[in-house]
Structure 1
């Protein structure tokens, strides 16, 4: 993003922190690699313990584990928990998050291990559903055999067997084989995604890496991609879905809930620049981006395996979130609502002409809503039985939302460059303790 001269003139210039020895930050990554570390203290204790332990074990910054875990928690409660700042303004507690990494194996380990509880839970649910599904398939086959017999008989004696044939036809239609439960998916076609959403009542989570994540963010204008982007946007907003399935069947999903968590290497992000002028925004504006670039001066040391009790506690947490079988809509206490409205007004100010988010107005427009979703996730971990989100939880959510602003600026600035252009000269940061500053790199 190109900053206007009046903005640059009115902002404080600051020098970035000195590079440590062996620093391996990408030349495409602006100074945000050293600015605005993830406010891990804003996370609930049960989640923070795992995030910090994962960072130590893999020698990565807490940013990667924290952002990925937010996506995992969002997937666990998707379709169950919603949040409303005011009456009639409900939205799902789903998030679209993306971590931009160096493509190291240790970073892939963080991503894979964080989603492991969901994968294990899905595998267990599939095992439990196999026997009932086999029984349903057997009943359906028997019903089809009886139907064929009656149809043959009806061909010879319509008056005698016609009613019986129609009755068996109804039984075949009613004896549907239940789909195997699904929580997660990676890359798939729009048609297959529609089928899965219909089978899972609109609730799915996509965890993608590298090329699959890049395709999702590319904003391609092909017919297939446009249909896919529309489906993801509706799932993000929690809208009702009308899905046309194979065989001419139409399915209605009252409340969709799609969660996306992506991890892609910096080289993949740089590849998105090609042809951006001929592409749509797609779902780019819904994503919360993080650049947890490796900085040896801030890595935890020495590496230690994640304690077994911490892994068990994290697994129990995710399972307890996913175990909710009834819908909950969180509201805000009076103090929390006032704090959120003040934050919303602050974001609106940043979106004005010559404001730091002027060129990211579409992304910033989602930020107050994403803050509500983060607050709902934090609250569901702390005390899901309490229907009102407290001011303290809202403050924590705002701190996390504020963290994503400079990372979004860096990401969108990189995507707006022409291939081969120099990295951004200025990167804005928004520290919570002081007004907007400008980092000169």
Structure 2
């Protein structure tokens, strides 16, 4: 399905691939966990974020990969509606009965009879206070943290925030709370830690093991913005996310690509829907265990990763993220296993090949995390200079004018020609280009656009920088 959707939409495999993982997480989150070894369990829910520029067909891919979840939610609602109607009617009748018994008890004068009537009225009142089950809900989009906590409590601890935009980050940063960040629900919703929410005028909400899924497809600029939001890095929210920065295919896409074949779409929809429905009513999560070979693989991953977290090692600057990598690999292995053995093999141990596949995904996400955290902390001028270098490596001019560069480059990056000046100066400082001598003007007229000669090795250096 991932390959077929990527072909049809002419998008990188990364986009539908990450959304497929988010869809699996939505189906299994809160209903299954993997035990790596005694004392270490990981819930099977993920936070995934794919960043691509505008016009990348994110919405089309998003709709294709999440459509089975919408269908599963509809089926859950249809199945639950009669029970909810019945429970609501029973509650209304119980309220009436409790009122009647309370009046009867108040009118009795005999102490013994009154005590008995009060006990019956109390019992009827307790019956009337039984909550009516909420309609099943799998997916939220533009949701506040308060609403997310309430939905988690209503839905037995499971909820997915899936969106083709990144507005949830603005909400977490305090859009509706006077600029005060509110991250608690999304921090505990990833780890599965006890969540208690107390609000004035409302009953306290309690979720023993919340399991949130986050699946976003947003624009790269949002990643730079969230790095500046208070608490996002320091409290660990950014360390919980699996990032993807796919190659931009806009401008090189095939027109008239073949649609997703019907059998593939049907099989994907039926299997994902079935996984949701099979796990929906389970109050206690299924516990998956690793095979001996799979456990040895996880241990080997831990041994290889640990030295890289040392203060002067290559992952020291993203220790917060990299420290969670092995847990993420275990979660990925559990999801891949569930997807394959549906629905009968859940009692079998997770084999080593699923850990191997998850480790390769972990390596992919590690590379992307390094790029994302570099981008989050980067000087914008450096990013703009890399864009100019990419143009140089593609066009390979021996020389160019400032106007040549401005005409060729994106207006979303360089809105006016003067925006190029600090970038060209940076490239000059590093020896990629050199200003050419300006000819003397013989008469009136507009001055010629400044020109630069390109270093012969600039294109090759630019290609290396992109890799």
When normalised by structure 2's length, the TM-score is 0.73
Which residue in the other structure is 1:430 paired with?
none
Which residue in the other structure is 1:142 paired with?
93
Cα distance in 2 for residues equivalent to 1:78 and 1:274: 29
Report matched runs for 1:219-238 at 5 Å: 226-227=181-182, 229-238=183-192
Aligned counterpart for 1:365 among listed residues 309, 312, 323: 323
Which residue in the other structure is 1:114 paired with?
65
Q: Against the structure 1 CA distance between its residues 243 and 315, is the aligned structure 2 distance closer, same or farther, given a 3 Å change threshold?
A: same
Q: Secondary structure at the match of 2:162?
A: strand
Q: Against the structure 1 CA distance between its residues 217 and 70, is the aligned structure 2 distance closer, same or farther, given a 3 Å change threshold?
A: farther
Cα distance in 2 for residues equivalent to 1:297 and 1:401: 30
2:6 pairs with 1:55: yes
Cα distance in 2 for residues equivalent to 1:123 and 1:116: 11
> 155-164 or 137-146, which moves further after superposition?
155-164
Which residue in the other structure is 2:364 paired with?
403
- Pairs aligned (count): 378
CA displacement, residues 393-438 of structure 1 (integer Å, 9 cap, x when unaligned): 11111111100112111211222235x4422999xxxxxxxxxxx9
Asked whether the 8 Å contact 1:221–1:280 carries over to 2, the reply is no
When normalised by structure 1's length, the TM-score is 0.77
- Displacement after TM superposition at 1:338 (Å): 1.7
2:88 pairs with 1:128: no
What do you get for the CA RMSD once the two structures are aligned?
2.9
Which residue in the other structure is 1:260 paired with?
214
Which residue in the other structure is 1:173 paired with?
129
Report matched runs for 1:29-428 at 5 Å: 50-104=1-55, 106-157=57-108, 159=111, 160=114, 161-174=117-130, 176-215=131-170, 226-227=181-182, 229-244=183-198, 249-274=203-228, 280-295=234-249, 303-325=257-279, 326=282, 327-383=285-341, 385=345, 386-417=347-378, 420-423=380-383
Asked whether the 8 Å contact 2:173–2:180 carries over to 1, the reply is no
User: Larger relative CO (CA 8 A, sep 6+): 1 or 2?
Assistant: 1
- Displacement after TM superposition at 1:100 (Å): 0.2
- Displacement after TM superposition at 1:120 (Å): 1.0
Structure 1 unaligned segments of length 5 or more: list them.
1-49, 427-437
- Displacement after TM superposition at 1:355 (Å): 2.1
Cα distance in 1 for residues equivalent to 2:90 and 2:231: 55
Q: Against the structure 1 CA distance between its residues 333 and 168, is the aligned structure 2 distance closer, same or farther, given a 3 Å change threshold?
A: closer
Q: Against the structure 1 CA distance between its residues 142 and 221, is the aligned structure 2 distance closer, same or farther, given a 3 Å change threshold?
A: closer
Which residue in the other structure is 1:42 paired with?
none
Structure 2 unaligned segments of length 5 or more: list them.
387-462
Asked whether the 8 Å contact 1:65–1:110 carries over to 2, the reply is yes
Asked whether the 8 Å contact 1:60–1:106 carries over to 2, the reply is yes
Q: Secondary structure at the match of 1:354?
A: coil
Higher-Rg structure is 2
Q: Against the structure 1 CA distance between its residues 297 and 367, is the aligned structure 2 distance closer, same or farther, given a 3 Å change threshold?
A: farther
CA displacement, residues 337-384 of structure 1 (integer Å, 9 cap, x when unaligned): 222211122222222233221100000011110000001111112225
Cα distance in 1 for residues equivalent to 2:82 and 2:100: 28
Cα distance in 1 for residues equivalent to 2:238 and 2:104: 59
